[in-house]
């Protein structure tokens, strides 16, 4: 097992419970958590995109993304499951993509993100669907409706596209990672690149009463 993989695993063991704590707690604790995350990611974007003409559009998008994250958790019912479910889909997509990509390798998905493979893309879909089925059946004690399955595939797709988009901007800036705050992952933006796209997309879908 490589040192990078060990660092990724250890970082995830710490980060996932911390994020889960704030999501479940909600209220001012969650607001404090996402404000801190926003400023860290905004700073990483500032460093990555300095002197670039598209810099301001990135800040506008980040603001909307975090507003959507806030609304997904601090909703009318003060319920945590929408944000928790979407986070689960994104994390599962990331883990499935990384694992299947490393094990199976195969053809590259895009030149913008050389580590992305078709095997990883399929693995991301599979693990996100499996994780959602387990979550809905055993945590929410419900059957997974067909429109939820479509929702999972859409969110997983947006998460993977978001990952590629951030990779594209990193290539434009000629950097490997957006920061060094998380061992094995790089910056916080490296860790949540898919989520910052999946959250606003999911918020819009939920507003449309898709679920």
* 158 burial via Cβ count (<10 Å: 0-12, 13-18, 19+): buried
Tell whether pTM > 0.85: yes
**pLDDT value for 7:** 63
* 146 burial via Cβ count (<10 Å: 0-12, 13-18, 19+): exposed
Domain ranges of the chain: 3-207
Out of 23-27, 63-67, 99-103, 207-211, which region has the weakest mean confidence (pLDDT)? 207-211
Which tokens sit at 33? Answer: 């958590």
- Tell which residue, 196, 195, 208, 199, has the closest CA to residue 72: 199
φ/ψ region of 79 (left if φ > 0, alpha if ψ in -120 to 50, else beta) reads: beta
**pLDDT value for 123:** 93
pLDDT tens digits for range 17-54: 899 999 998 889 999 999 999 999 999 999 999 889 99
Beta bridge partners of 108: 117
The neighbour count for residue 87, using CB atoms within 10 Å, is: 22
- Tell which residue, 117, 109, 82, has the closest CA to residue 201: 82
pLDDT tens digits for range 123-176: 999 999 999 999 888 887 777 788 889 999 999 999 999 999 999 999 999 888
Q: What is the mean predicted confidence (pLDDT) over 192-197?
A: 95
- Using alpha carbons only, what angle is made at residue 195 by residues 210 and 45, rounded to the nearest 5 degrees? 135
Contacts of 137 (CB under 8 A, 6+ apart): 143, 144
**pLDDT value for 209:** 76
Higher pLDDT, 105 or 159: 159
């Amino acid at each position: 097992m490589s040192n990078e993989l060990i660092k990724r695993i250890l970082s995830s063991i710490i980060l996932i419970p911390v994020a889960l704590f704030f999501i479940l707690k909600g209220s001012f604790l969650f607001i404090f958590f996402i404000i801190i995350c926003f400023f860290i990611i905004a700073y990483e974007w500032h460093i990555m995109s300095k002197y670039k003409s598209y810099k301001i559009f990135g800040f506008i998008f980040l603001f909307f993304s975090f507003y959507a994250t806030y609304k997904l958790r601090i909703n009318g019912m003060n319920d945590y499951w929408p944000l928790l479910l979407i986070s689960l889909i994104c994390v599962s997509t990331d883990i499935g993509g990384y694992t299947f990509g490393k094990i199976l390798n195969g053809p590259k998905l895009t030149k913008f993100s050389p580590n992305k493979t078709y095997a990883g893309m399929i693995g991301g879909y599979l693990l996100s669907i499996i994780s959602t089925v387990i979550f809905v059946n055993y945590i929410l004690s419900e059957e997974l409706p067909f429109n939820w399955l479509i929702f999972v595939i859409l969110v997983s797709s947006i998460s993977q596209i978001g990952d590629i988009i951030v990779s594209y901007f990193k290539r434009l800036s000629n950097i490997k990672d957006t920061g060094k705050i998380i061992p094995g992952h790089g910056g916080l933006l490296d860790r949540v690149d898919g989520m910052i796209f999946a959250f606003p997309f999911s918020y819009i879908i939920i507003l449309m009463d898709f679920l």
